[in-house]
């Protein structure tokens, strides 16, 4: 297959690209290279003739059109997004631009491209939209998100992802675009930009810096190893039913405080440091995230029943792999830490108005 992957230089996108190329598919990575995009994450496939790269913005209709016409994909996997909840609190404008307007632009150009394909290629063509469980809002202590759970997004990030999900659904329902969707839980693993909880805590703990826990640390997330997710995404994109959505979860619910303590234990074991001591001593409770969702948990019975997928890693095995990867790949993360060193994000919305005007201006 020829697969165009938007956001393929990001954390999950690059795992998908590496997996697809490994399977023998021909892949075009289409990515704007924002702060979160990193060509070093594509190093394992960079020399492969089956892989090519185009730096471009999904909000740029002519660039999307040119890429589709030149590459002629059989499948589009759409992962490009602004993805960090804390940044969406500080500046929602870029989230509206990329996640909403960018998805709209991509859908329009995809529909145009799809409409011009011969019938046999239309039959095979799929558009896969990758989304998040955060669109479903926040759970209490019991229950799981299912595909039919009502949408109740609480952060600017999840509101823009919910909007993009609705657009994809409508383009399928109204225009007949053969689209599938998936909503997954929190990913972790190699090549994760160190602004999210797990990589941030690994790197801070390694250097003996404070480990910030928002609020009480009781919030629960369901952790999914990124390579398990990549496998699920390719299965959904190729074998999922158009018009359907599939939940993807890791069957690994953890309280944040337990995640941070587990990272401390693995690092104390692998890299003991007398100067730092037991790393749990670095934990600091800090101001809560505004609108912080209490609990996310996923029921992936549909994906398991229809397509036979389940995660290979449990949290313990996945976390140890992840920590070992960061220890072995300083050259990947040191330049990123030089640019962003874990400063607290998401406590103001001071830049929002200016950011919105600028971002939406660029998108039109």
Candidate list 26, 133, 195, 253, residue with the active-site label? 133
Residue 182: strand pairing partners:
130, 246
Q: With binding defined as CB under 6 A, does residue 355 bind ligand NAD?
A: no
- For residue 134, indicate whether it is catalytic: yes
Neighbours of 159 (CB within 10 A): 21
List 221, 229, 279, 295, residue binding ligand TDX (CB under 6 A): 221
Distance of CA 318 to the CA centre of its chain: 17
- Distance in Å, CB of 7 to ligand NAD, minimum: 3
Choose from ligand NAD, ligand TDX, none: what does 32 bind? Cβ within 5-8 Å by kind. Answer: ligand NAD
- Distance in Å, CB of 196 to ligand NAD, minimum: 7
**What is the C-alpha R_g of the chain?**
20
Q: With binding defined as CB under 6 A, does residue 37 bind ligand NAD?
A: yes
Choose from ligand TDX, ligand NAD, none: what does 85 bind? Cβ within 5-8 Å by kind. Answer: ligand TDX
Nearest CA to 110 out of 163, 167, 25 is that of 167
Q: Residue 205 burial by CB count (10 A; 0-12/13-18/19+): exposed, middle or buried? A: buried
Measured distance CA(136)–CA(297) in Å, rounded: 10
- Distance in Å, CB of 81 to ligand NAD, minimum: 3
- Distance in Å, CB of 85 to ligand TDX, minimum: 4
List 25, 85, 98, 293, residue binding ligand NAD (CB under 6 A): 98
Candidate list 26, 134, 228, 293, residue with the active-site label? 134
- For residue 133, indicate whether it is catalytic: yes
Copy the structure tokens of residue 24: 């023998």
Nearest CA to 253 out of 153, 139, 154 is that of 139
* Cβ closest to ligand NAD, residue 265 vs residue 362: 362
Measured distance CA(170)–CA(20) in Å, rounded: 28
Nearest CA to 1 out of 77, 57, 78 is that of 77
- For residue 285, indicate whether it is catalytic: no
Residue span binding ligand TDX (CB under 6 A) among the ranges 42-50, 77-85, 106-114, 120-128: 77-85
- CA within 13 Å, CB half, 44: 15
* Cβ closest to ligand NAD, residue 172 vs residue 229: 229
> DSSP letter at 105?
H
Q: With binding defined as CB under 6 A, does residue 214 bind ligand TDX?
A: yes
H or E stretch at 111: helix 103-115
- Distance in Å, CB of 64 to ligand TDX, minimum: 22
Pairing of strands 220-225, 253-255: antiparallel
| Cβ–Cβ under 8 Å, residues 315 and 243 | no
Catalytic residues: 133-134, 157
List interacting residues with ligand TDX (CB under 6 A).
83-85, 132, 134, 186, 196-197, 200, 212-214, 219, 221, 256, 289
List interacting residues with ligand NAD (CB under 6 A).
6-7, 9-13, 31-34, 36-37, 57-59, 79-83, 98, 102, 130-132, 161, 184, 186-187, 193
């Amino acid at each position: 297959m020829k697969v165009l992957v938007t956001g393929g230089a990001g954390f999950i996108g690059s795992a998908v690209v590496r997996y697809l190329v490994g399977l023998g598919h021909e892949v075009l990575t289409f990515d704007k290279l924002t702060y979160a995009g990193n060509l070093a994450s594509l190093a394992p496939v960079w020399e492969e003739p089956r892989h090519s790269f185009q730096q471009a913005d999904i909000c740029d209709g002519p660039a999307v059109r040119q890429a589709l016409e030149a590459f002629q994909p059989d499948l589009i996997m759409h992962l490009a997004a602004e993805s960090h909840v804390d940044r969406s609190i500080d500046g929602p404008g870029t989230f509206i631009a990329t996640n909403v307007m960018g998805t709209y632009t991509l859908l329009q150009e995809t529909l145009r491209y799809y409409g011009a394909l011969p019938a046999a290629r239309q039959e095979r063509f799929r558009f896969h939209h990758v989304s998040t469980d955060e669109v479903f809002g926040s759970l209490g202590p019991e229950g799981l998100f299912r595909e039919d759970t009502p949408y109740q997004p609480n952060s600017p990030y999840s509101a823009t992802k919910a909007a993009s999900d609705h657009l994809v659904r409508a383009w399928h329902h109204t225009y007949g675009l053969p689209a599938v969707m998936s909503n997954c839980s929190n990913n972790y693993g190699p090549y994760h930009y160190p602004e999210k909880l797990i990589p941030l805590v690994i790197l801070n703990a390694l250097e003996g810096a404070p480990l910030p826990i928002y609020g009480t640390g009781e919030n629960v997330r369901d952790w999914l190893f990124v390579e398990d997710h990549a496998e699920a995404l390719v299965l959904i994109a190729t074998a999922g039913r158009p018009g359907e959505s599939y939940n993807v979860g890791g069957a690994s619910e953890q309280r944040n405080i337990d995640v941070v303590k587990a990272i401390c234990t693995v690092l104390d074991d692998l890299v003991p440091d007398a100067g730092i001591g037991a790393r749990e001593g670095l934990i600091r409770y800090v101001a809560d995230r505004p609108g912080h969702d209490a609990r996310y948990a996923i029921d992936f019975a549909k994906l398991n029943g229809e397509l036979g997928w389940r995660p290979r890693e449990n949290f313990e095995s996945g976390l140890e792999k992840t920590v070992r990867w960061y220890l072995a790949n300083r050259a990947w993360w040191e330049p990123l830490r030089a640019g962003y060193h874990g400063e607290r994000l998401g406590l103001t919305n001071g830049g929002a108005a200016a950011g919105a005007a600028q971002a939406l201006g660029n998108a039109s």
